[in-house]
Amino acid sequence: MSADLLEGIVEYYADEEILKADGFDDAVIGVDEKTMRLIYSVGRCIEILVEDGMTMEDAIEYFDFNVSGAWVGDKTPIWSQDMLYYVR
């Protein structure tokens, strides 16, 4: 469903630059219309990494250092903390 949401966002805002996080299309939960930054579910991102074969611990560490910790400019995605088990 989230991949459909992402597709809809990209189509609706076709004139805007929207930066996507590779491999996490199914974790998109919205867009911030003021900054035109995608909003991702952190919990779903962790689940995607686990589904791809990582342990929960490895997925959290990878996400912290390689995904949410990466600054890629003004369009860096927003990471919504939505899972209670996920603690930094």
Query: What pTM does this model have?
Result: 0.88
Rounded Cα distance between 47 and 38, Å, is 18
| Per-residue pLDDT reduced to its tens digit, 26-55 | 999 999 999 999 999 999 999 999 999 999
Mean pLDDT of the chain: 91
Residues sharing a CB contact under 8 Å with residue 40, sequence separation 6 or more, in sequence order:
21, 24, 27, 28, 29, 77, 78, 79, 80
Rounded Cα distance between 81 and 59, Å, is 15
